[in-house]
Amino acid sequence: MIPRLGVNIDHVATLRQQRGESYPSIARAAEAVLKAGADQITIHLREDRRHIQDADVAPVHGWCKKFNRPLNLEIGSHPEIVEIACRHKPEWVCLVPEKREERTTEGGLALEDGPTLARLVKALDQLAQKSPATKVSLFIEASAGTIAQSLKLPVHAVEIHTGDYAKDFLENKPLQKYLDLYARAHAEIKAAGRGFHAGHGLTDQSLVPLLKQGLFEEYNIGHWIVGESVFAGLEHVVAQMSKQLKERV
């Protein structure tokens, strides 16, 4: 199995929003990463609109359609944002947690929290009714309780939050506890016939142990790619990472 590479281009929009200009172009970034071999594009339309804007969704989706690649739209469960997703009908929606005060997404969905679960169920119903062809994933931790709860919901995949793993990798801390956790989660998720994806905080180096383990079918990576692109160019960085996934090293 060759894992898929989803390239998150949110932080191209972050740079644009810092000055409120029309550049750098999100549409141009979408075209570049798809030309370079990305298997899908991921964008996160946050409720606070800190990077991706409503007007970005259609042109990014347009480039995905031209390359016959899926758009993975990350959203919170706020009804207004879910309604926007329903209008655009992306191939994938990934439901994620959001907090206004966070710098970036700090963890997975709290599926064992009653109010959170209730909002998710409403969002899932809204998507099923208005965009039935859209597949849905949940951004979650790999803990046993969260995995069990995810299996009770009508979704097509989970995306495991790899932020803590990625941080410990950068700090040269032991990683085996994460690999063991991912292996157990993978067994349960695949037994249920669902997709097993990963994302958050990953770099070309922290990707290596995960590729060797060979469990994840898809990786969504953005911040490192955009950061490295300052030095090497966006298409080059995406092409190299795409090659890395194919070689699984």
pLDDT in tens, 173-227: 999 999 999 999 999 999 999 999 999 999 999 999 999 999 999 999 999 999 9
Question: Considering the domain boundaries, does residue 248 fall inside one?
Answer: no
Question: Considering the domain boundaries, does residue 43 fall inside one?
Answer: yes
> What's 67's domain CATH number?
3.20.20.70
Question: Considering the domain boundaries, does residue 235 fall inside one?
Answer: no
Checking if the pLDDT of 100 tops 70, the result is no
Question: Considering the domain boundaries, does residue 237 fall inside one?
Answer: no
Question: Considering the domain boundaries, does residue 23 fall inside one?
Answer: yes
Per-residue confidence at 101, pLDDT binned at 50, 70, 90?
A: low
Checking if the pLDDT of 162 tops 80, the result is yes
Token pair for residue 195? 């997709």
d(CA 12, CA 154): 33
- What's this model's pTM, rounded to 2 decimal places? 0.96
Per-residue confidence at 127, pLDDT binned at 50, 70, 90?
A: very high
CB 137 within 8 A of CB 94: yes
Question: Considering the domain boundaries, does residue 91 fall inside one?
Answer: yes
pLDDT in tens, 23-47: 999 999 999 999 999 999 999 999 9
Checking if the pLDDT of 66 tops 70, the result is yes
Q: Structural domain of residue 172, as residue ranges?
A: 4-230
Nearest of 148, 144, 147, 161 to residue 216 by alpha carbon: 161
Per-residue confidence at 99, pLDDT binned at 50, 70, 90?
A: low
Question: Considering the domain boundaries, does residue 148 fall inside one?
Answer: yes
Checking if the pLDDT of 6 tops 60, the result is yes
C-alpha dihedral over 105, 24, 91, 157, to 10 degrees? -30
pLDDT on residue 103: 56
Question: Considering the domain boundaries, does residue 238 fall inside one?
Answer: no
pLDDT in tens, 46-58: 999 999 999 999 9
Angle between helices 10-19 and 26-35 (to 10 degrees): 150
CB 199 within 8 A of CB 6: yes
Catalytic site residues? 44, 74, 200
Structural domains of the chain, count: 1
